[in-house]
Amino acid sequence: MRRIPVRRPSPGLVIAVVALVLALGGGAYAAATITGKDIKNGSITGKDIKKGSLTGKLVKKDSLTGKQVKESSLGQVPSAANATQLDGQPPSSFEVDWVLVQGTAAGATVLAQSGGFSVARLGTGVYSVDLGSSAVRRPLSATINVGGAAGFISAAPCGGTANNPGGVNCGGVNDNNHILVVTQATNATGADRTFYLEVGPS
């Protein structure tokens, strides 16, 4: 039986085959090795990125700033849930109510106020101030207006002492919405004066 001789490939054939393999597989190799340096800045936009394909792990730390984030799309930070309240109370619960009253022999006139006040003169230097809401357990501060005559002033919540610390029984309307204010001259006799009254939060 005659044997068929096997010829070894020539060096030229080997080189040609290797070149052909590289030519056919070069595209796949290149696609697998493209990095950010190979992409022109600004050439990829949001339309080119599949929705939900980018996660926090794929974004470089500290690379996003407020300019890239739409503020209206952000919800409330959990730790700031109580930022609009204090101990569960709204800001209005901590507002101070105040009134500026001019007392004269002709009566009492409200010159300015935060809202809700009315005043009646009961006698010389004696005033009944209606707060419009309960004054129980609310701090009171009364001062003589420095633009007028000097004197003394005192204030107390009306409605008696029952569940009303510092309360007194007042002439006129005697309920927890009213505050008795007494003004005196420097000799401690009753005298009409212009005064400020502040009622703090409970």
Instruction: Report the distance separating Cα 139 and Cα 108, nearest Å.
Output: 23
pTM exceeding the 0.75 threshold for the entire prediction: no
Q: How many CB atoms lie within 10 A of CB 155?
A: 22
Instruction: Report the distance separating Cα 50 and Cα 21, nearest Å.
Output: 34
Instruction: Report the distance separating Cα 121 and Cα 156, nearest Å.
Output: 15
Q: How far is CA 141 from CA 32, 57, 99, 198, in A?
A: 78, 59, 11, 5
Q: Collapse the DSSP code of 98 into the 3-class scheme (helix H, G, I; strand E, B; otherwise coil) and give the result.
A: strand
Residue 36 has a pLDDT of 66
Contact call for residues 125 and 103 (beta carbons, < 8 A): yes
Residue 193 has a pLDDT of 97
Instruction: Report the distance separating Cα 91 and Cα 27, nearest Å.
Output: 66
Backbone angles phi, psi at 93, to 5 degrees: -70, -15
Measure CA 187 to chain center.
49
Residue 22 has a pLDDT of 64
**CB proximity list for 141: less than 8 A, separation 6 or greater:** 155, 196, 197, 198, 200
Residue 74 has a pLDDT of 73
Contact call for residues 199 and 101 (beta carbons, < 8 A): no
Nearest by Cα to 121 from 195, 14, 202, 68: 195
**Average pLDDT, 10 consecutive residues per value, the chain (202 residues):** 63 65 59 66 72 71 73 70 65 84 97 97 98 95 94 97 95 95 97 97 86
End-to-end CA distance of the chain: 119
Instruction: Report the distance separating Cα 195 and Cα 111, nearest Å.
Output: 10
Where helices occur in 33-101 by DSSP H, the ranges are none
